[in-house]
């Protein structure tokens, strides 16, 4: 899609390993049983799309017409998530993480949002799906754990009734059966005394317990895809660890695919199998967690890693990324990160400000991709960035 801010520039959509231009994703013939997925098996996957994907997003664009102009929140985003695997989408606020995931859930107001591209969930196309069909998918095949459970849970209904209702929407069962299922889920997510807690209201739960209740509601229908939007925000460190362990354990039990939206790279290192780094609505780096965290090849990813405080370097100053993310109303020409990038002087000519870099395989091959004009990214990282990371 051509918009005022990218007209006249070469702008190619993100591409995934295993795709053919003009065709859908090329999927492996052999499907694996998600019910026996374990982290040990998942760690052997060579590429992010090496297994049969359950969620496939291709060339997704999400725009919001406003009185000031067209806000391009997501631009040509592509990725895939297999069952039993966790994809972390990371980036600063306003990079398009939550907007893209809300598109997967079909939560955008169609009258006020322009969405193009493809979102396939288990082979079914989400973009353009009628609302009555989306309601059958939402909460059943895919569920979302929202960032703030305090505002997501209804204050006038008990927690147990809200979980029961989520189950009855997709199953024709009695209230007693739904209550039994809700009690099972409350117990499964580690809430003590489920019978008493079933009758309580959200304000009677602590922050960590509300988040557990939201996870119970999200998993009550055994969804194959769970989107967790900043699930540990505003929680203390101990509760954060408990929530992450809970998600890990539940993924092993249900075999679900997880899309984890976060800005915390510590959480990414703990949870993710694959990592997608977003900036200004675009993917700028994509690969396995090992590749992206240990061998990053995009200056923005370097900046995110360098901005993390470490215990061993307590006396050193933090190295924040200078400047602010660009306005999505008027993205800069060329690479959107160029106004904040300290390496633009190492690229010949004005390519950083005139040409949008393509998302290409690192070192010319493999599933680890990055979007940058630098030709010596590996040597720059090893000589300059890695020593600063310690």
Quick: pLDDT tens for 153-164: 999 999 999 999
- Write out the H or E segment, with its range, that includes residue 284: strand 282-288
Q: Does residue 300 contact residue 285 with C-beta atoms inside 8 Å?
A: yes
pLDDT of residue 28: 36
pLDDT of residue 237: 79
Cα–Cα dist 361/358, whole Å: 10
pLDDT of residue 157: 95
Cα–Cα dist 343/233, whole Å: 32
pLDDT of residue 234: 67
How many other C-beta atoms can be found within 10 angstroms of the C-beta atom of residue 211? 30
**pLDDT beneath 50, residues of the chain:** 1-47, 49
The segment(s) of the chain belonging to CATH 3.40.50.300 are 1-24+39-141+223-390
The domain 1-24+39-141+223-390 is placed in CATH, from the list 3.40.190.10, 3.40.50.300, 3.90.226.10, 3.90.580.10, at 3.40.50.300
pLDDT of residue 50: 61
Q: Does residue 308 contact residue 320 with C-beta atoms inside 8 Å?
A: no
Structure tokens at 241: 């660890």
Structure tokens at 167: 């189950």
pLDDT of residue 41: 32
């Amino acid at each position: 899609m051509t918009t005022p801010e990218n007209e006249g520039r070469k702008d190619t959509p993100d591409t995934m390993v295993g795709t053919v231009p003009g065709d859908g994703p090329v999927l492996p013939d052999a499907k694996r049983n998600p019910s026996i997925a374990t982290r040990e098996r998942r760690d052997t996957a060579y590429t992010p799309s090496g297994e049969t994907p359950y969620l496939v997003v291709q060339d997704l664009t999400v725009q919001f017409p406003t009185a000031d102009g067209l806000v391009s929140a997501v631009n040509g985003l592509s990725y895939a998530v297999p069952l039993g695997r966790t994809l972390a989408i990371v980036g600063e606020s306003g990079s398009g993480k939550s907007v893209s995931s809300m598109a997967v859930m079909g939560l955008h107001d169609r009258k006020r949002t322009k969405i193009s591209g493809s979102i396939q969930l288990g082979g079914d196309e989400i973009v353009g799906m009628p609302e009555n069909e989306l309601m059958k998918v939402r909460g059943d095949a895919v569920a979302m754990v929202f960032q703030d459970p305090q505002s997501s849970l209804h204050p006038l209904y008990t927690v147990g009734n809200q979980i029961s209702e989520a189950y009855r929407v997709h199953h024709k069962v009695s209230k007693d059966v739904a209550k039994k299922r809700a009690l099972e889920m409350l117990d499964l997510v580690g809430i003590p005394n489920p019978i008493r807690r079933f009758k309580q209201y959200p304000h009677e739960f602590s922050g960590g317990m509300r988040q557990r209740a939201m996870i119970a509601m999200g998993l009550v229908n055994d969804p194959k895809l769970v989107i967790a939007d900043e699930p540990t925000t505003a929680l203390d460190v101990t509760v954060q660890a408990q929530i992450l362990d809970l998600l890990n354990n539940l993924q092993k039990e249900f075999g679900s695919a997880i899309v984890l939206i976060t800005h915390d790279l510590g959480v990414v290192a703990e949870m993710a199998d694959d990592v997608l780094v977003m900036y200004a609505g675009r993917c700028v780096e994509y690969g396995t967690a090992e590749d992206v965290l240990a061998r990053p090849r995009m200056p923005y990813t370097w900046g995110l890693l360098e901005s993390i405080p470490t215990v061993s370097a307590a006396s050193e100053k933090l190295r924040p990324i200078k400047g602010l993310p660009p306005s999505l109303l008027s993205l800069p020409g060329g690479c959107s990160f160029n106004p904040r990038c300290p390496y633009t002087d190492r690229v010949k000519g004005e390519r950083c400000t005139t040409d949008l870099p393509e998302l290409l395989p690192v070192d010319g091959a493999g599933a680890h991709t990055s979007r940058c004009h630098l030709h010596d990214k590996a040597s720059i990282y090893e000589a300059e960035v890695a020593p600063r990371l310690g």
